[in-house]
């Protein structure tokens, strides 16, 4: 693991997880579980209450992300999760990254919801890492408190200047060409150096490098939350005497 990857992993695991309010997180987990099994648990009726251990296998390469979601889902079902890999860690398949302990019907109740969450979160983190490498970012920065900041979407320099004058914290320059973006960002920063400038609209992975400009602080891509590839995971009940490393994966 490179030094840069170690820095990013530390950021992911020790700071960003604190953004998630524990009460809100628990409420979300309950809603997801109710949506997945709104009425009768027919599967639970079949498998019963036996205590089992399930192994979480990461089946495709990527960045592991979403541990807090996975944890809270199984906590709601009175199961215990033990992790063998860290949040933000780059994993090569096929690898056991966690174990879940609990009643088999509770494990199966949480399986689909938990896998959906961790697959999507890891997919987004993996896409973000790839974009980070394309951007060749030298300094990893974390900006906290965005929920308390005022952001204004602007389609012209004039709108951006008015928004900055009115006291906004972030100016989003939407659908600017790279040249127009460079000029607009330079003008805004010259008068309002504290303003955070975000570029958005029509930016793709292949065109990202064109928008990495001197006065642009943030670049937004819809692909990070809409067009990403998921990371493949599987949750397998561990039979007595079977080594998790020798599980048959399908």
Regarding predicted confidence, which is higher, 224 or 183?
183
- Does residue 128 sit in the same domain as residue 164? no
pLDDT at position 89 is 93
Question: What whole-number distance in Å separates Cα of residue 218 and Cα of residue 176?
Answer: 14
State the DSSP code for 166. T
- Does residue 132 sit in the same domain as residue 177? no
pLDDT tens column, 8-22: 555 455 556 667 788
Average pLDDT over residues 40-64: 84
- Does residue 19 sit in the same domain as residue 131? yes
Q: What is the CATH number of the domain that holds 185?
A: 3.20.20.70
For residue 118, is it within any domain? yes
Name the region of 201 (left: φ>0; alpha: ψ -120 to 50; beta: rest).
left
Total number of domains constituting the chain: 2
pLDDT at 139 over 50: no
- Does residue 33 sit in the same domain as residue 117? yes
Q: pLDDT class for 138, splitting at 50, 70, 90? A: very low
- Does residue 49 sit in the same domain as residue 122? yes
pLDDT at position 242 is 61
Average pLDDT over residues 182-194: 92
Beta carbons within 8 Å of 132's beta carbon, 6+ residues apart: 8
pLDDT at 140 over 50: no
- Does residue 110 sit in the same domain as residue 166? no
- Does residue 105 sit in the same domain as residue 213? no
- Does residue 22 sit in the same domain as residue 125? yes
For residue 141, is it within any domain? no
State how beta strands 196-200 and 218-219 pair: parallel
- Does residue 153 sit in the same domain as residue 211? yes
DSSP letter string over 123-159?
HHHHHHHHHHHHHT-SS------GGGS-EEEESSHHH
DSSP letter string over 60-107?
S-EE---HHHHHHHHHHTT-EEEESS-TT-EEPSSEEEEEEEEEHHHH
For residue 191, is it within any domain? yes
pLDDT at 179 over 80: yes
Q: pLDDT class for 249, splitting at 50, 70, 90? A: low
Residue 234 backbone phi and psi in degrees, to 5: -145, 140
- Does residue 48 sit in the same domain as residue 107? yes
For residue 19, is it within any domain? yes
Q: Lowest-pLDDT range, 49-53, 122-126, 227-231?
A: 227-231
Average pLDDT over residues 242-250: 57
pLDDT at position 66 is 94
pLDDT at position 11 is 47
pLDDT at 41 over 70: no
Q: How many CB atoms lie within 10 A of CB 120?
A: 17
For residue 115, is it within any domain? yes
- Does residue 172 sit in the same domain as residue 117? no
pLDDT at 51 over 70: yes
| Residue 28 structural domain | 3-136+228-246
Question: What whole-number distance in Å separates Cα of residue 135 and Cα of residue 131?
Answer: 6
Beta carbons within 8 Å of 124's beta carbon, 6+ residues apart: 65, 224, 225, 228
Q: What is the CATH number of the domain that holds 14?
A: 3.90.1170.20
pLDDT at 133 over 50: yes
């Amino acid at each position: 693991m490179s030094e840069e990857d170690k820095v990013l992993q530390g950021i992911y695991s020790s700071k960003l997880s604190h953004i998630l309010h524990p009460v809100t997180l628990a409420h979300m987990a309950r809603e997801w579980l109710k949506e997945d099994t709104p009425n009768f648990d027919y599967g639970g009726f079949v498998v019963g209450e036996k205590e089992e251990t399930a192994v979480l296998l990461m089946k495709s390469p990527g960045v592991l992300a979403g541990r807090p979601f996975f944890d809270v889902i199984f906590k709601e079902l009175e199961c215990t999760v033990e992790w063998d890999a860290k949040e933000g860690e780059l994993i090569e398949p096929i690898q056991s990254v966690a174990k879940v302990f609990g009643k088999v019907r509770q494990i199966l109740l949480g399986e689909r919801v938990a896998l959906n969450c961790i697959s999507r979160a890891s997919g987004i983190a993996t896409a973000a890492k790839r974009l980070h490498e394309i951007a060749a970012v030298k300094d990893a920065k974390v900006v906290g408190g965005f929920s308390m900041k005022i952001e204004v979407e602007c389609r012209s320099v004039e709108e951006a200047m008015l928004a900055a004058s009115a006291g906004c914290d972030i100016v989003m320059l939407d659908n600017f060409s790279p040249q127009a973006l460079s000029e607009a960002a330079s003008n805004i920063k010259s008068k309002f150096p504290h303003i955070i400038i975000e570029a958005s609209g029509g930016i793709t992975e292949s065109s990202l490098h064109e928008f990495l400009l001197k006065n642009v602080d943030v670049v937004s891509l819809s692909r990070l939350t809409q067009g990403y590839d998921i990371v493949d995971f599987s949750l397998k009940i561990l039979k007595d005497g079977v080594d998790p490393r020798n599980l048959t994966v399908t």
